[in-house]
């Protein structure tokens, strides 16, 4: 198998490069920053004197700065568990302590996580948002490039689990026990500016519980996005989400995406009785996307949910998805029917398949996953008992909905904790040339 990602810092063919429409603020030259959990101290951020955590230097970052992060476990400033950056930057993880080699999924893991303590942040673990930045004349800044490369995001330590058994998350806080809710946010969320190009590559996101994407990229007018060689496993919502901030009709300005060589496994619904979420990939309506050589497996709803994107679908593998492999607006299809039944897919799409694959996750977690009991909304609604109480009689006379009795809605197993050691190997090797592979530097 040809190695696809030998040089991790490459800029890829879709054009994730410095935009010619970049305004003065985003044309800043930038500098290199270095972060090391082991050697870091202070805020100089040099290779000789690196910072201890990205969160400690965020307030000093300028447009086009490049951040190099060595191996280690990072919980952000004050263990708050979330980093928000408001200027375009490039982040590269997976370095050794001397910043000479990179091996982000094996020898030199750069792990972004947090802790579950009451009133810690519940925002995305990595959140880059540049669409509100302005020039000195007041107009919004445009252009430049954003890259996140070689980071492992593990929200397991940030989640609250029922009875601390690591079997089912809880979305509400417990002030009495000093526990935060499980963060209802993605692992890597990026919102660009007009003409900003964005890439997320060689990253791992696991144990996140968002409504939307575990990896979520929103590209605005004239921008391009690359999402490639990422591994998303055991998340709610959507494994990957491609979004747009442009609703115009000028095709030269519509957001363009290249989504390739990603593996997305075990994507859960938002909660045990939800009818939304649970798709490996979700795409907004007003985008142009090429989706190729990915693996979308074991979505609690499906593999791909297109809300009407101009989509080319080539050589993707679908396996174990519960309701469908491909959903186009409201039409649900299995992979063998996509080319025949889709109304919006590029007819030149080719090579998509379904196959049984062996997933090398730990036996402990696999047994827990296999033992889960799914709860449907219809079953919950059918189980509701409506009493003929005086309050319900009054509500009925007033035209209000009557109130039913309480019904258990929480599953005993829902997004059970999967450790990095138990799950990461499932992203190491592609299946028949499809899906992610372990990235290494020369």
Cα distance between residue 176 and residue 194, in whole Å: 45
What count of Cα atoms within 13 Å lies in the side-chain half-sphere of residue 178?
2
CB atoms within 10 A of CB 137: 7
> What's 403's DSSP letter?
-
According to the model, what pLDDT value does residue 129 have? 97
According to the model, what pLDDT value does residue 372 have? 87
Cα distance between residue 39 and residue 424, in whole Å: 26
According to the model, what pLDDT value does residue 411 have? 75
The string of DSSP codes covering 205-264 is EES---SSEEEEEEE-TT-EEEEES-EEEEEESEEEEEEES-----TTTSEEEEEES-EE
Class in CATH terms, 25-364+414-427:
mainly beta
Cα distance between residue 198 and residue 192, in whole Å: 7
CA 185 from chain centre, in angstroms, equals: 9
Q: Whats the size of the chain, residue-wise?
A: 442
- Range list of β-strands (E), 255-365: 255-260, 263-268, 279-283, 287-292, 295-299, 302-306, 310-314, 317-319, 324-328, 331-333, 353-354
Q: Give me the residue label for tokens 């696809």.
A: 4
Q: In the β-sheet with 83-85, what is the strand arrangement from edge to edge?
A: 83-85, 126-129, 188-191, 213-219, 238-244, 279-283, 302-306, 324-328, 331-333
According to the model, what pLDDT value does residue 383 have? 43
Cα distance between residue 98 and residue 210, in whole Å: 35
According to the model, what pLDDT value does residue 440 have? 78
According to the model, what pLDDT value does residue 401 have? 61
Cα distance between residue 341 and residue 410, in whole Å: 36
The string of DSSP codes covering 37-50 is TTT--SS---SSS-
Q: Across the strands, what pairs with 5?
A: none
Q: Give me 180's structure tokens.
A: 């935060």
For the chain, 442 residues long, the average pLDDT of each consecutive 10-residue run is 38 50 93 98 97 98 98 97 98 97 97 97 98 94 97 98 95 94 98 97 98 97 97 98 94 95 97 90 97 97 97 97 97 97 96 94 94 64 46 46 48 94 96 94 64
Q: In the β-sheet with 110-112, what is the strand arrangement from edge to edge?
A: 72-74, 110-112, 152-154, 204-206, 231-236, 263-268, 295-299, 317-319, 353-354
- Give the SS3 label for residue 189: strand
According to the model, what pLDDT value does residue 403 have? 54
> What's 329's DSSP letter?
T
The string of DSSP codes covering 46-75 is -SSS-BS-GGGTGGG--TT-EEEEESEEE-
According to the model, what pLDDT value does residue 439 have? 95
Q: Give me 344's structure tokens.
A: 């919006």
According to the model, what pLDDT value does residue 295 have? 98
Sequence spans of domains, the chain:
25-364+414-427, 376-410
Contact 296, 338 (CB under 8 A): no
Q: Residues with Cβ < 8 Å from 355, sequence gap 6 or more?
A: 317, 319, 431, 432
Q: Give me 308's structure tokens.
A: 């009407």
- Comparing CA positions, the residue from 411, 318, 422, 421 lying closest to residue 371 is 411
According to the model, what pLDDT value does residue 373 have? 82
According to the model, what pLDDT value does residue 272 have? 86
């Amino acid at each position: 198998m040809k190695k696809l990602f030998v040089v991790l810092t490459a800029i890829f063919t879709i054009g994730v490069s410095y935009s010619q429409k970049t305004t003065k603020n985003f044309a800043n030259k930038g500098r290199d920053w270095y972060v090391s959990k082991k050697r870091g101290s202070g805020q100089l951020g040099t290779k000789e004197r690196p910072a201890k955590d990205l969160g400690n230097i965020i307030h000093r970052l300028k447009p086009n700065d490049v951040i190099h992060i060595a191996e280690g476990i990072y919980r952000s400033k004050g263990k708050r568990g979330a980093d928000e950056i408001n200027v375009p930057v490039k982040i590269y993880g997976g370095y050794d302590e001397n910043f000479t080699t990179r091996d982000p999924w094996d020898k030199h893991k750069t792990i972004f996580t947090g802790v579950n303590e009451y009133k810690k942040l519940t925002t995305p673990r990595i959140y880059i948002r540049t669409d509100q930045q302005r020039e000195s004349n007041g107009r919004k800044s445009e252009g430049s490039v954003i890259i996140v490369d070689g980071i492992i995001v593990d929200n397991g330590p940030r989640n609250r689990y029922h009875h601390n058994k690591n079997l089912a998350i809880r979305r509400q806080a417990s002030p009495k026990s000093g526990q935060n809710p499980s963060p209802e946010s993605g692992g890597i969320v990026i919102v660009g500016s007009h003409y900003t190009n964005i890439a997320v590559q060689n990253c791992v996101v696991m144990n996140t519980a968002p409504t939307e994407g575990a990896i979520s990229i929103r590209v605005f007018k004239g921008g391009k996005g690359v999402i490639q060689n990422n591994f998303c496993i055991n998340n709610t919502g959507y494994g990957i989400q491609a979004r747009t901030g442009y609703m115009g009709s000028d095709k030269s300005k519509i957001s363009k995406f290249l989504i390739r060589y990603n593996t997305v496994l075990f994507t859960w619904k938002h909660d045990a009785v939800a009818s939304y979420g649970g798709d490996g990939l979700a795409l907004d309506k007003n985008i142009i996307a090429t989706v190729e050589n990915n693996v979308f497996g074991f979505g609690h709803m499906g593999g791909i949910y297109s809300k009407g994107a101009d989509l080319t679908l080539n050589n993707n593998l679908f396996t174990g998805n519960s309701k469908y492999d491909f959903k186009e607006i409201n039409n649900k299809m299995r992979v063998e029917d996509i080319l025949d039944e889709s109304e919006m897919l590029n007819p030149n799409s080719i090579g998509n398949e379904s196959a049984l694959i062996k997933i090398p996750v730990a036996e402990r977690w696999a047994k827990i996953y296999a033992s889960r009991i799914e709860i449907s909304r219809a079953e919950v609604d059918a189980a509701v008992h409506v009493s003929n109480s005086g309050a319900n009689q009054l509500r009925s006379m007033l035209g209000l909905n009557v109130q039913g009795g309480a019904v258990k809605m929480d599953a005993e197993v829902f997004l059970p904790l999967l450790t990095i050691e138990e799950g990461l190997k499932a992203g190491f090797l592609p299946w028949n040339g499809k899906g992610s592979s372990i990235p290494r530097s020369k």
